[in-house]
Chain A
Amino acid sequence: MSVLVFVEDPADELAAQALTFARGMDGDVTAFTISGDYAPAAWGQTLADLVGARSPRAVLAAGTERGNEVLAHAAAILDLPLSANTISFAPGSPPTVTRVRWGGSLLEQALLHGSTLLLTVAPHAVAADDGATVEAELVASSQHALAVAPTKRVGATSGGVSLEEAKVVVAGGRGVGSAEGFAIIEQLAELLGGAVGCSRAVTSAGWRPHTDQVGQTGTKVSPDIYIACGISGATQHMAGCKGAKKLLAINADGEASIFAHADYGVLGDLHEIVPAIAAEIRKARGA
């Protein structure tokens, strides 16, 4: 079957993954990019026009913010269903898709109807083919009466280690107890050249800004190690830190669900343990 893959940036790893996913659908796959500046409704119209002109069986994109947005516009214009953040596809009439819910804590199997199948591929649902380069055809953008485009970019992020890219994240949860309690979390993060994270309970309490929040509705992180201090391990939080290579949980409650996701655990009061780890690091470095 013929499959079109919309690619925003051919150099992006997630674009390569979407292409690999498309090849897995036994597709005759064509990748394309759209010329000009980002304008979601116009780009959605571009996809709709390609569907009209080429009658592909399916149109795919990576499940990024923009991939999901452009395909949603195309789906709205074509009045077709869209399976967002899909992790697998099984042919059939209609085919069955498996897609991500709850930020990855749950999966859904669904029948995807429609003359043209529209789907986005969840990040890291498949590994990109080795050495695959994305060769994308350049398509001119269509016009759409409702199209809006960004007029400018503001507020470049300030200095310091970005949470999203940090190799070490030291995160605190409700167990930290107060805004002031985060001093020890900050000290450990600084010692390790890492970033401070927190759970949703913490931002809801106003102890930390939302920019520090790791979770389904916060930042998704992928450090070498994630040190979760006083975090219970709610699905909302785990959706943000499941990309960590290793997870160390420090918690007074041995029954906390965070331990089901952890590689390493320390039981006890984080207010004693975190400063003790910081002191031990200084000692190790001083020696």
Chain B
Amino acid sequence: MHICVCVKRVPLTGGRITLTDDQRALSTKHLGFTVSPHEECGVEEAVQIVEREGGSVTVLTLGPAESEEQLRDMMAIGADRATHLVTDGEEWDPQATAAAIVAAMRADEQAPDLILFGNESADAGNYQVAIRVAHALGMPSVTGVKKISFESGSAICEQEVAGGSDVYEVSLPAVVSVKEGINLPRYPSVPGRLRAKRKPLQASSPERPAAQLEMVRLVLPPDSGKEVQVLGTGAEAAPAVVAVLAELGVL
């Protein structure tokens, strides 16, 4: 089975977000970068499927030149090759992103049996790129999946809902978006990292169409305005804590 996993480079935000002067991006001078959590689980899932059933894993991203770091990270945990749609760092809206991914899939001689996405990206959270790609390629899709198995040409997907899981059966090829919790992604090993350096990476620079969801600026939400009431230090604070619990009626 050939699986393509679409991932996005996002900053590791830590405790506080600060913006660039033009208010169009996060100030990332002091931040590291990673792959969105749901998508990292997508890569782990693809690697596990291929370990079990044979095949190969391609990891694809649309992002600035620096995104190669994330593609190499994903190849270090087992993806076989990478496709990099290189941007100039400007953000692409969901329609443009989906269109570029679709064009790359069509151009690839190895058509995927399964395309995996994260349910939503950690940063923009648009909840739609996977579904747009599915429609454009004429494939069925399932979102929010926390378990995948295969049975005679179909993917059996479990989607978490209140009170259990809904089971979907989709014939392959299909698009599936996964959620963190489907697995626990492995850490890259040193040999894995060394191998990743030599794995094939195909780069191209698609043209960015005009945005239809056109970001103007980013805004920090208003401060909670909370003033923390310090109840004390160490074990001596316990009576004050219990008094608060009693006051809140949870004791």
Contact = CB atoms under 8 A, between A and B. Distances in A.
B213 interface: yes
Nearest to A156: B164
Contacts of B170: 148
Interface in A60-113: 65, 68-69, 72-73, 75-77, 79-85, 94, 96, 98, 100-113
Interface stretch (B58-66, B68-76, B241-249): B241-249
Contact of B168 (A76, A149, A192, A258): A149
B228 A154 contact: no
Name the residue in A68, A103, A225 with the highest tally of chain B Cβ atoms < 10 Å from its Cβ: A68
B125 A103 contact: yes
A232 interface: yes
B214 to A, nearest CB: 4
A276 B219 contact: no
Interface string A139-156: 000000111111111111
Size bracket, chain B contacts: 35 or more
10 contacts: A72-B131, A76-B134, A82-B94, A108-B218, A154-B167, A224-B249, A245-B248, A261-B224, A268-B237, A284-B251
Interface stretch (A51-59, A174-182, A206-214): A206-214
A27 interface: no
A110 B238 contact: no
Interface of A: 38, 40-41, 44, 65, 68-69, 72-73, 75-77, 79-85, 94, 96, 98, 100-114, 120, 145-157, 164, 167-168, 192, 194, 200, 203-204, 206, 210-211, 213, 216-218, 224-225, 232-236, 245-246, 248-249, 256-269, 272-273, 275-277, 279-281, 284-285
Contacts, number: 271
Given A107-B219, A155-B165, A218-B181, 19 more contacts: A40-B141, A72-B127, A81-B212, A84-B126, A106-B218, A110-B214, A111-B213, A148-B170, A153-B166, A153-B167, A155-B164, A200-B37, A203-B184, A216-B37, A225-B245, A256-B15, A264-B229, A268-B237, A277-B238
Contacts of A265: 228-231
Interface string B186-225: 0000000000000000000000000111111111110010
B138 interface: yes
A75 B128 contact: yes
Given A103-B125, A217-B37, A41 B140 contact: yes
A75 B132 contact: yes
B61 to A, nearest CB: 19
B184 A204 contact: yes
B76 to A, nearest CB: 17
B234 A216 contact: no
Contacts of B161: 65, 153
B198 to A, nearest CB: 28
Contacts of B95: 79, 81
Interface in B120-156: 122-128, 131-132, 134-136, 138-144
B15 A232 contact: yes
Contact of A246 (B221, B232, B242, B248): B248
B249 A76 contact: no
User: Interface of chain A, helix or strand or loop or mixed?
Assistant: mixed
Contact of B122 (A112, A194, A216, A258): A216
Contacts of A83: 213
Nearest to B236: A276
B140 A234 contact: no
A110 B251 CA distance: 46
A110 B228 contact: no
B32 interface: no
A156 to B, nearest CB: 5
A217 B122 contact: yes
B219 A109 contact: yes
Contacts of B143: 40, 65, 69
B221 A210 contact: no
A106 B33 CA distance: 17
